[in-house]
Amino acid sequence: MNRARAWVVGWVLLVLTGLLLVLAVSVGSLGLEPMVMAWLQPARDDGAAALAAQIVVDIRLPRALGAWAAGALLGLAGAVAQGLFRNPLADPFLLGSAAGASLAVALALVALGGAAGMLGAGGGQAWSVLSSSLWVRLGLTGAAFIGALVAVLLTLALARGVQHTLRLLLAGVVVGVVLGAATQMVLLLAPDALQAMQAFLLGSTAFVGWSAAGLMGAMAVLCTAAAAVLARALDALALGEATAASLGLPLALLRTALVAVLALATASAVAQTGLIAFVGLAAPHLVRTLVAVTHRGLMVLAAAMGAVLLLAADTLARWWLAPQELPVGVLTAVLGGGYLLWLMHRGRLRGQGV
């Protein structure tokens, strides 16, 4: 019964993905009308149809697919984190990856010369000016990815490996606090970088292109496949450390692999979209409220749920105050936080080992 219900949930999420993609490419100042007219009247030569098609193909579609892929990575990472730590409040940023990425981006902005003349007047404008340079954009993306992975490695070093889950959890909290303080210090000493840093801290998919969307999509497929293979370890850990050890599983090796999947998925999303909160935390809970599945099914469905959530939030962020745009990270924090508070009020916040 649960397996059939899981398939139904999966198909519903797939249908929602298709509908949201159509809606996402429709949201904007031009909509889809000029492009449809171009298809119906190919001889038309006023340039408007070509411009609309270019906007959809080169801007809206890669952004929508990038938001979907980033949400899948965060949803998957959240499911891995909650299963690994057996804590329903675990999220993808628990090992310090968000703080590491933020510090690396702040340092990169300072190194690139975050002067007022380079950054522009406002946060969004500043990030746009920076992102207009391909090499600058690649530099910031690479810095975020490297910073996230270095933070995870530092957490592993402080925890002396992955043998003790509680020690790993505490080390991640310590690393996050210390690196977060370091980021604030960098921004205090270089206030010109603060405006450009705001878009990263609030989360945005505005500058996701085809290359970024393709990279995140490939990483989502790779990490989901790896997590599905490793799901048996999480099923065993849910029964307790002693039971898992009695099954003869190489727990240290499996934990290391799961931490690698968690770090890689989180870093890939953060490097392209910045810090988007609550998607990784809420997606596994939404799946559990709909269907009871093993960790293998949870990984796949949580990835699909996270993808749908972020795609919907990104579309809403562009539509709500159009032509102005809300930072998608703010919207996910408000909606995701409200949802989790509702779960706590109803007494339905649950997870493995809790």
Q: How confident is the model at residue 161, as a pLDDT?
A: 67
Q: In angstroms, how far is CA 237 from the centroid of its own chain?
A: 25
List CB contacts of 49: < 8 A, sequence separation 6 or more.
Answer: 34, 35, 37, 38, 41
Instruction: Write the CATH number of the domain with boundaries 2-346.
Output: 1.10.3470.10
Say if residue 129's pLDDT is above 50.
no
List CB contacts of 36: < 8 A, sequence separation 6 or more.
Answer: none
List CB contacts of 308: < 8 A, sequence separation 6 or more.
Answer: 13, 16, 17, 20, 68, 71
List CB contacts of 325: < 8 A, sequence separation 6 or more.
Answer: 124, 206, 317, 318
Q: How confident is the model at residue 153, as a pLDDT?
A: 86
pLDDT tens by residue, 246-294: 766 677 788 888 888 888 888 888 888 888 888 988 899 889 888 888 8
> Model confidence at 123, in pLDDT bands (50, 70, 90)?
very low
